[in-house]
Amino acid sequence: MLISGLELFFGDIFMDRSKSLVLVDAYSQIFRSFFAIRMLTNSRGEPVNAAFVFTKLLLQLEKSHPSPYGAMLFDCGKVAFRLELNPQYKANRPPMPDALRQQMPLIREIAEAFGWELLQCDGLEADDLIGGLSCRFSDLPVEIVSSDKDLSQLIDERVTMLIPGSGASGFNRRGIAEVKEKFGVAPEEMVDYLALIGDNSDNIPGVPGIGPKSAVDILQLFGAADRWLNAPEKIDAENKYGKKLLPALDIIRRNRELIRLRTDLPEELQLDTPPVRHKPDWRRITEICRDNQFRSILKELPEIEDEKDDFFEDDLFAFAKENSAVQVAGKSAADGGEEIQGELF
């Protein structure tokens, strides 16, 4: 028992994460990239702000977290089973900005040039695919690139999150201890926690009068929702929290189903081997950066044999900084803010 406890405590230290399966929550990072810099265009007048920042992200990921396995997961189509539970699910999200929509073909091309396999399945969200792949390849450590709090429910001694931020590697790791520190609950309690407080970003209303601190108190006082949802007599009706919970049991049941990630992969993604993260095509990446005047990124790329950098166009990133065009939307992930996203379907 003592050995098991030590393994749990030191699991992340002893685990060989050089063999990780890295799963990128694509749209979360694409929207984050779009809102990081505004009004950035190439010499043809085409918007490239999201493509620029996304390229920087993938380059940093390649430098600090190389691995043999990985995939980039995209949302695709309407999520029927969640819309049946709540027709207003994600209805508060604005349409994807036209300036971002124009960049999507380029962004996908950049991702493929960096060696990423792009996966999606009609009617499923990227979070569900991430959950499914994390469970299917249970013999591998998993690193999830996202700051979406919903994904914290997947974290254990094997699965962690990489949140773009100010860490030495460009990413802050979120493991079991970090989930407890940030939310006050363990990863396995995240579904209940979010079901109680709701999720504004997904248009999921919580229990009236219950906030983050109250949700932590409720789970400590009454235990996991499985213990009392179908046995309301276990809830003290005279308790201040009990008075709020008892009228809201149906809301909590629905929210749990909305928030809980599906881990059963569709047939087309029943992979026998983990998706391979191929070596970047540095020549293609260089061509893309030259074509869009990403000079600051060109300086970071490996030198291509028999080629010299005779590219003298203005550095768009330097231009953006000189003109104070860098705008950060909301809190950064490093500050604990959730990523800003628009409507994906």
What are the pLDDT digits (tens) for 113-126?
999 999 999 989 99
Q: How confident is the model at residue 158 (pLDDT cuts 50, 70, 90)?
A: very high
Distance of CA 47 to the CA centre of its chain: 24
Residue 47 forms beta bridges with which residues? Answer: 41
For the chain, the average pLDDT equals 87
- Res 337: pLDDT: 45
**Alpha-carbon dihedral sign for residues 280, 284, 286, 292:** negative
What are the pLDDT digits (tens) for 32-86?
999 999 889 999 999 999 999 999 999 999 999 999 999 999 999 889 999 999 9
Overall average pLDDT of the 150-163 stretch: 97
Ordered domains of the chain (ranges, CATH): 17-179+261-345 (3.40.50.1010), 188-259 (1.10.150.20)
Q: Specify the amino acid at residue 18.
A: S
Choose among 51, 38, 107: nearest CA to 74: 107
What are the pLDDT digits (tens) for 206-253?
999 999 999 999 999 999 999 999 999 999 999 999 999 999 999 999
In this predicted structure, the answer to whether residue 313 has a pLDDT above a threshold of 60 is no
pTM of the model as a whole: 0.85
- Res 107: pLDDT: 98
CB atoms within 10 A of CB 244: 17
- Res 14: pLDDT: 55
Give, in order, the Cα–Cα distances in Å from 69 to each of 18, 113, 208.
10, 15, 43
Q: Are 319 and 295 in contact (CB under 8 A)?
A: no
Q: How confident is the model at residue 305 (pLDDT cuts 50, 70, 90)?
A: confident
